[in-house]
Structure 1
Amino acid sequence: MAGFPEDGIRTLHEGRDHFWFRHRNRVIEQALRRAVGGGTARVLELGCGGAVVGAHLRACGFDVTASDRDQEFLRYLPPGMPALVFDLTRDAVPAAAQGAFDAVVLGDVIEHLKDPVAALARAREFLRPGGRVVVTVPALQSLWSDYDVQSMHEKRYDRGDLLRELDAAGFTVGTIAYFMCIPAVPLFIQRKLTLRKGSARLGKDSLKISPLLNRLFAGLMRAEHALSRVVRLPFGSSLLATGTKP
């Protein structure tokens, strides 16, 4: 996709067992089940990168098609997963794909784009009437750091940003909720007090984590996930939103 590091797809694929990706998968899966029901829904993952989200959703029984602009992503797809090479920033939606999906997922995609509204409007064309979009983005501008620069982010979002962009793209907005609440504080400390420009820990190396710490945070994120089902989290380093195509 536009505004994405050259080795980003490989890096994402190699980091798929990181607690952060595993938790995001659960959050997106839960949002999809609430939006479109069980696993028979046709789902398109746009900007899929290493298909970290799509592979999880497919394992959960959803009928998933993976899509990215760079054919490199094809190397990382589970066997038999349908694929569409598509540039969300410029390509016309193929006639056969217009209105063909029950849901579209954009997992940490639009923060890389200079015109996220146009991309969301293009994503909307893939949906049937009443179809749903599920979007995740990095949140809290206070967490902005050189990591965001190297990741080629245009911004970090707040709830109002995401609401306005989905509305402008023609969606009826449903849920907008923070997640990654527990990691937000250590991320702030890491990115503001530890990382410095040029640090070797920036970029792809930031996904490196000890197995013990990864297991610890995986457990904490399971607790956060359970808590988020009964209360709205007050903040988080990520946002999720859902919208409906009228």
Structure 2
Amino acid sequence: MATLNNNTSSSVAEEDINRHKSFKLYQTIAYVVCVVTCHLGLYLGLIALFYCWFVGSILGLSYAISALMNSICSFFVFWHLKGQTPNDLERRDYLVCCINGALIFGSFLGIKSHEIQLMIDPQTPTGDWFTRVYSVIHILFFITLSIVKLALSTKLKSKSLFYDTLASITGIVLSIALILRDRISISNGEKEIIGFLCMLTVISLPIISFKLIFIGIVYQNKLYRQSLRQESNNTYISVHTTLLSSSHTHGIP
């Protein structure tokens, strides 16, 4: 019987060790992917920004701000992934949810106004080869990274990584639609369909933003209630101990 219990304990301990190793492996991979995403977004954003200054392309500015915003969001996500303990990782996760929610909403306000303008008043194709090549590179790289991050977010149960990936996918879909609409001659009916898809994509950004902020606020309220409950319990124990000590003291002849 003792041997059976020892074998069971050893099996459970081995499973815990393997689970911990797998978690650390996924955490390391996600950390590296977020670092790559952060640097890639930064470089692509700066390239688009400089190109916008020299050429005066409003669409280039839109891509620049979008890429730079993705870079900042990825920076906070990989900061969250540096948590050493599960509790620290969870605390950072919900904090990053609030921060990235605000950043995504700022991106929506700062960038999407121009994209909405393109839906209302479409431009004729410009034949801008640099923007087209840049857009294709941006889309291909971020599609690959988004697929990897989406898989890792489910393994790590990271909400901030999951919603950051959704925001990136939303930007990719919108970028593809903008290339089709503004760089290729297509019929009016096809433009209306693409415009409708763009509108749905644009609407999803504030939804993701508010969802992230809501998740973070709910978690912070939970911690605040736990803190109040713990403080109340400590006060009760302290008062109860004082009363018992006082009663014991007065009871001594």
TM-score by length of 1: 0.27
TM-score by length of 2: 0.26
- The structure in which a higher percent of residues are helix is 2
Structure number, greater radius of gyration: 2
